[in-house]
């Protein structure tokens, strides 16, 4: 695609909203506090690091005392835990899961394999840097990190949420073209998920100059409309 074609893409400008209510910041702090003390965690067990989660959850380290509990569905989860190396095949499912979660959502990469590929850095079949495909709020490095480190990482995320600083989920909408480009590089130009990320970006008023671009054009050219599932008895 030529650069001149890209220049024709219209970017919707959203005017900045002024906050007039003097209690707005107090309310934000209260919401941040409540969010940080009630987190549902979807643990997508992708690698060996998952083995540290049972002790972190159960009686010895007891992460539920912090208000964190496991959740089985991405629709109700706040945190996506990636617990080790991610194969390219698995990454597709991880991205789909991430997109199914409602905002605000937070991602924690556990294990060195999520930071830079770890001991699989030379493998053709694994994704190396998780944050090239979707935003990551926090990494807990180690091969594998102990439950104390997992709890410490979760507490750091709680502090970030409380301070309203855990905003990486917004980057997925603001820089969607970048993330989509990396995904297409790995999965091919026909890559698509059933999620309308561009529509969501507009709904959240997070569409910016980097939401659309060369890669979203490719997506829109190959995207097929979703068909309703038919149930036959």
By C-beta, is 74 or 109 nearer to ligand SF4?
A: 109
CB 183 within 8 A of CB 95: yes
Closest CA relative to residue 178, chosen from 209, 137, 202, 138: 209
Task: Measure the CA–CA gap between 211 and 199, rounded to whole angstroms.
Answer: 11
By C-beta, is 90 or 167 nearer to ligand SF4?
A: 90
**Shortest gap between Cβ of 146 and ligand SF4 (angstroms)?**
11
| Interacting residues toward ligand SF4 by CB under 6 A | 47-49, 84-85, 111-113, 118-119, 143-144
CB 106 within 8 A of CB 81: no
* Position of minimal CB gap to ligand SF4: 84
* C-alpha separations of 227 from 74, 75, 200 in Å: 22, 21, 20
By C-beta, is 49 or 74 nearer to ligand SF4?
A: 49
CB half-sphere exposure, 27, CA atoms < 13 A = 6
Q: 24 CB contacts (<8 Å, ≥6 apart)?
A: none
**Shortest gap between Cβ of 66 and ligand SF4 (angstroms)?**
23
By C-beta, is 120 or 176 nearer to ligand SF4?
A: 120
**Shortest gap between Cβ of 108 and ligand SF4 (angstroms)?**
13
CB 172 within 8 A of CB 197: yes
By C-beta, is 11 or 143 nearer to ligand SF4?
A: 143
**Shortest gap between Cβ of 127 and ligand SF4 (angstroms)?**
12
**Shortest gap between Cβ of 195 and ligand SF4 (angstroms)?**
27
């Amino acid at each position: 695609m030529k650069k001149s074609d890209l220049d024709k893409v219209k970017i919707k400008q959203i005017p900045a909203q002024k906050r007039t209510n003097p209690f707005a910041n107090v309310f934000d702090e209260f919401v941040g506090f409540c969010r940080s003390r009630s987190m549902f965690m979807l643990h997508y067990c992708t690698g060996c690091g998952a083995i540290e989660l049972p002790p972190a959850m159960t009686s010895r380290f007891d992460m539920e005392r912090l208000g964190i509990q496991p959740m089985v569905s991405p629709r109700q989860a706040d945190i996506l835990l990636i617990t080790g190396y991610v194969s390219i095949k698995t990454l597709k499912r991880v991205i789909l899961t991430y997109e199914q979660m409602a905002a605000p959502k937070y991602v924690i990469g556990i294990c060195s394999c999520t930071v830079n590929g770890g001991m699989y850095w030379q493998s053709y079949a694994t994704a190396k840097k998780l944050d090239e495909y979707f935003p990551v709020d926090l990494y807990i490095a180690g091969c594998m990190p102990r439950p104390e480190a997992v709890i410490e990482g979760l507490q750091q995320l709680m502090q970030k949420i409380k301070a309203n600083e855990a905003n990486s989920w917004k980057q997925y909408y603001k820089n969607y073209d970048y993330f989509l480009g990396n995904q297409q590089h790995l999965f091919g130009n026909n890559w698509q998920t059933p999620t309308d990320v561009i529509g969501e970006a507009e709904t959240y008023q997070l569409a910016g100059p980097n939401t659309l671009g060369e890669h979203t054009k490719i997506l829109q050219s190959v995207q097929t409309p979703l068909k309703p599932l038919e149930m036959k008895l």
